[in-house]
Structure 1
Amino acid sequence: MAATSGPGTGPRRRHLEALAREVEARGLQGLLTEDLMLRVVDPASGRGLLVVAMPMSRIRWSFLWAGGGQADADDPARAAELIARTLGR
């Protein structure tokens, strides 16, 4: 079953939507998938990655992506900078 419902859906969506706005402000493309992951693509190189938002405690969320990428979901601007670097920006 896809993770499109349940107790974490609202916060997960909000965090990923905030991150999508931040990556788009940096010239990257962000697409929220049906199963609530954010696909981020650098249109110049075609490189991309998937970002998930995971609860780390009852009040703290983090963004995670391949290669050990991790950032606090309360700071989507910082996360977008790290993702841009990961994609070679």
Structure 2
Amino acid sequence: MHGEAPTTAILTISPNELVAPVHNRMPVILDLDSLDAWLDPVADVGLIQSLLVPARASSLRIWPVGTAVNHVASDGPELLWPIDLAPTLGFA
């Protein structure tokens, strides 16, 4: 890769029923069984397009996180730690 920088892209799609209340898009999450087809440079376009579906809600978990997640300078595992929403909503 002389003279080229490595790049990446996140493909997004409409959300599943778990993510929809939080955001209007979600990343494509491939099943392990789909990886070979996804990485095959001569794979049929129709096959690849069939992989671009929302992940099953049962395969995901969702919880509230702090606002630091939205800051590009923030980094660290604590960004994934669940927070208690009760104090921010005025509940004791």
TM-score (norm: length of structure 1): 0.31
The structure with more strand, counted as a fraction of residues? 1
TM-score (norm: length of structure 2): 0.30
Larger radius of gyration: 2
